[in-house]
A and B are shown apart, each in its own frame.
Chain A
Amino acid sequence: MTDMSDTGMSDIAAGQRVLNEAAPKMIARDVDVFYGDKKAIDNVSIDIALENVTAFIGPSGCGKSTFLRALNRMNDTIASARVTGKIELDGEDIYSSGMDVVQLRARVGMVFQKPNPFPKSIYENVAYGPRIHGLASGKADMDQIVEKSLKRAGLWEEVKDRLAESGTALSGGQQQRLCIARAIAVDPEVILMDEPCSALDPIATAKIEELIHELRGRYAIVIVTHNMQQAARVSQRTAFFHLGNLVEYGDTSEIFTNPRATRTKDYITGRYG
């Protein structure tokens, strides 16, 4: 992780990684998540592949965000939350005592529902992760990481002349792309997106979706969304959650055209949700 050149910052490296990935990037088996005594996720097992964008859909309160946060142990910040079962990243149990949560979150990045740039400059926002993980060897190196990340997030052209301005002064859509750039900057392997467009207007949403397309294959992307059209547009695999259960998981085209479970069908045809 410390050397930028061979861990997927170039297209060739990323391509090789795809070829080498026979096994799924992340595997979850029999995962339960509790908040205190309340079971929020019940016995979920799922494989997440690198080459796919995976969408989690389902009505409000179905546990999709909770499960997403279990994938990079963000539930650790909630005192009452407890996770059982097994979640593996490249075959390593992320809840084992040997897994350093700092390292894990560098490998599994996250983008939140509401854009949450730090009240720092655009540059410092992107440089934040590389700084805390010691990824840049000097000013020039950091400049390069920042530029590359912003370019990948499709924000470079809009902000290259005002990197010193506060990240909070950007528009909502730009802020969200800044947050994606910030996540990309530490060169993660998986990016979790928790309803990344729910606070954005349609044009900003379209830009983020386009960005997700471009990032696909380079990073395993998991996106939680309320918007079924969005899931259909951006994802290759879709998981339908309901009341803490994983009801159905399969190819997006399959789920949307030929759902097997009635609950999925009802949700997709708009009976509830």
Chain B
Amino acid sequence: MSLAALALLILGLGLIAWVAARAKAMSFGSTGQARQHSLPNYHGWYVALWAVLPALFFLTIWSSVSGGLVTQTVLESPAAASLPAMEMQRDAILDEARRLAEGRIDAAFNPEAEALAPIYAEATSFYSLIGSSIALLLAFAAGAFAFTRLSPTFRARTRVERLVMASLLIASLIAILTTLGIVLSLLFESLRFFSMVSPVEFLFGLNWSPQMAIRADQAGSSGAFGAIPLFWGTIFIGAIIAMIVAIPLGLMSAIYLTQYASGRVRAWMKPALEMLAGVPTVVYGYFAALTVAPAIRDFAVTIGIPGASSESALAAGLVMGIMIIPFVSSMADDSIAAVPQAMRDGSLAMGATTSETIRRVLVPAALPGVVGGVLLAVSRAIGETMIVVMAAGLAANLTANPFQSVTTVTTQIVQLLTGDQEFDSAKTLAAFALGLVLFIITLLLNIVALRVVKKYREAYD
């Protein structure tokens, strides 16, 4: 019996258990005894969950274990004695035998596989029979056990609610565990990288040229892994140029929207501004690469700036800054709106103008929120990939000239990992080390941002 059919069968059993338990619980009501603790529905759910969950849980475990058991059986059979001892060849033959047994291929390349296929098929059906029997038995037994516990005073509701809470907890743990898994994988791959390249060279080296020589006589592929130019490029674009654009524009638009705009203007302007955040970054990317970058290069050439490149830090930074505006403005908007009206009235009643009130009272009071928003925006900007891949270029220049091409951490990760790659060379592993650094920086920024917002928030009641 296939796994899906079995699962359906168990769910069917669960439905029957639900109906039966509910009917039983309904009958409690008619006996006219003391009030039932739980509604019939809860009794139904209680029994159904008992019938379904243990069986499904067993199936999950079983499906991961049974494969190994089958292989074990096949290997122990007399026909398997002639198999080569080398693992790779043996695995290939076993795999073929399995596919023969499942009917996915008609003929095998290895003659041994033909002999093993019937044994394989037999073992598979044997274990699947065992698995199905246990699962069904489990469903029946657990369902029956739960069914016998039902009584008018049985607290089915409490138990079902507890299970609901547990499942919610598991759902939230999955996200956390995934993050942990990502961090661990980054960490281990990075450790492999750092066993080839010293962390000091990586973190403080000024020369980035990750191309490794494939042949010994190949020239110009030394494999230098100094990531400073990348870090600089990332900061230059994401934290400097983008923020020079995003902070003033975001803040001023937030001030306009909260303090000056009439209700009607605000009603269409705020969603329109937030639409910026909905534009896919790849669209920003080609806007930066095809429209902004050439315009900036032409401008630079016109005013005679040397070294102007068609892939400039300025183009990527400008467009990224535009992209970030909604983040800054919505955080600033929220924190300005959180400053109580009494504060504003107090200032206006002193004879301050609206702009004096904003400058001297509202913005200082809202500053923690604004700073938090800016830090979050920075962390978003330095992790941003598409715009810089398209518009910032690949040359790892260490330059403060915004018209020149620089490269960023994310761009290099994309470069290192796209296409056919060998995953044991320093070149590829460098991507993980870069990813780890990026992760740590954004994590720190997020922590600092949240702390700033929390600590300095004025508690207006």
Spell out A's residues near B (CB within 8 Å).
Answer: 72, 74, 77, 79, 101-106, 109-110, 112, 114, 116-120, 128-129, 132-133, 168, 179, 182-183, 186
Instruction: Determine chain A's interface SS by DSSP, over half rule.
Output: helix
Contact B346 A102 (CB under 8 A): no
Cβ-neighbour of A118 out of B263, B348, B356, B361 (below 8 A): B361
Determine the distance from Cα of A169 to Cα of B185 in the docked complex, in whole angstroms.
49
Determine the distance from Cα of A79 to Cα of B343 in the docked complex, in whole angstroms.
18
Contact A102 B345 (CB under 8 A): no
21 pairs across A/B with beta carbons < 8 Å? A72-B349, A74-B345, A79-B262, A102-B352, A103-B351, A104-B351, A105-B348, A109-B349, A110-B345, A110-B349, A112-B342, A117-B346, A118-B346, A118-B361, A119-B365, A120-B364, A129-B352, A132-B352, A132-B360, A182-B346, A186-B351
Greatest chain B CB density within 10 A among A104, A109, A110 is at A110
With A79-B262, A128-B360, A132-B360 known to touch, is A116 a contact of B350 (CB < 8 Å)?
A: no
Cβ-neighbour of B345 out of A77, A117, A182 (below 8 A): A77
Determine the distance from Cα of A25 to Cα of B350 in the docked complex, in whole angstroms.
19
- List chain A residues, Cβ under 8 A from B340: 116
- List chain A residues, Cβ under 8 A from B361: 118
Contact B345 A112 (CB under 8 A): yes
Kindly state the interface size class of chain B when it binds its partner.
Answer: 20 to 34
Spell out B's residues near A (CB within 8 Å).
Answer: 262-263, 340, 342-353, 356, 360-361, 364-365, 458
A114 to chain B, nearest CB (A): 6
- List chain A residues, Cβ under 8 A from B352: 102, 128-129, 132
With A112-B342, A114-B342, A116-B342 known to touch, is A128 a contact of B365 (CB < 8 Å)?
A: no
With A102-B351, A103-B351, A105-B350 known to touch, is A118 a contact of B343 (CB < 8 Å)?
A: yes
B263 to chain A, nearest CB (A): 8
Q: Which 6 A-B pairs give the minimum distances between C-beta atoms?
A: A105-B351, A110-B349, A116-B342, A106-B351, A116-B346, A129-B350
Contact B346 A179 (CB under 8 A): yes
Determine the distance from Cα of A116 to Cα of B361 in the docked complex, in whole angstroms.
12
Determine the distance from Cα of A74 to Cα of B364 in the docked complex, in whole angstroms.
23
- List chain A residues, Cβ under 8 A from B365: 118-119
- List chain B residues, Cβ under 8 A from A129: 350-352
- List chain A residues, Cβ under 8 A from B344: 77
A35 to chain B, nearest CB (A): 15
B69 to chain A, nearest CB (A): 69
Besides A77-B345, A133-B351, 17 other A-B contacts (C-beta < 8 A)? A74-B349, A77-B344, A101-B351, A103-B351, A105-B349, A116-B343, A118-B343, A118-B346, A118-B347, A118-B361, A119-B343, A120-B364, A128-B360, A129-B350, A129-B352, A179-B346, A183-B350
- List chain B residues, Cβ under 8 A from A114: 342
- List chain B residues, Cβ under 8 A from A106: 350-351
Determine the distance from Cα of A105 to Cα of B344 in the docked complex, in whole angstroms.
14
Determine the distance from Cα of A179 to Cα of B342 in the docked complex, in whole angstroms.
12
Determine the distance from Cα of A109 to Cα of B346 in the docked complex, in whole angstroms.
10
Contact B348 A77 (CB under 8 A): yes
Closest to B343 in A: A116
B364 to chain A, nearest CB (A): 7
Cβ-neighbour of A132 out of B262, B342, B346, B350 (below 8 A): B350
Determine the distance from Cα of A79 to Cα of B260 in the docked complex, in whole angstroms.
11
Contact B345 A116 (CB under 8 A): yes
Greatest chain B CB density within 10 A among A110, A118, A182 is at A118
Determine the distance from Cα of A112 to Cα of B350 in the docked complex, in whole angstroms.
12
Closest to B362 in A: A118
- List chain B residues, Cβ under 8 A from A103: 351
Contact A128 B351 (CB under 8 A): no
Determine the distance from Cα of A182 to Cα of B263 in the docked complex, in whole angstroms.
32
Determine the distance from Cα of A133 to Cα of B356 in the docked complex, in whole angstroms.
11
- List chain A residues, Cβ under 8 A from B346: 112, 116-118, 179, 182
Closest to A72 in B: B349
Determine the distance from Cα of A225 to Cα of B361 in the docked complex, in whole angstroms.
28
- List chain B residues, Cβ under 8 A from A133: 351
Determine the distance from Cα of A33 to Cα of B438 in the docked complex, in whole angstroms.
60
- List chain A residues, Cβ under 8 A from B348: 74, 77, 105
- List chain B residues, Cβ under 8 A from A105: 348-351
- List chain A residues, Cβ under 8 A from B353: 102, 132
- List chain A residues, Cβ under 8 A from B342: 112, 114, 116
Contact A182 B350 (CB under 8 A): yes
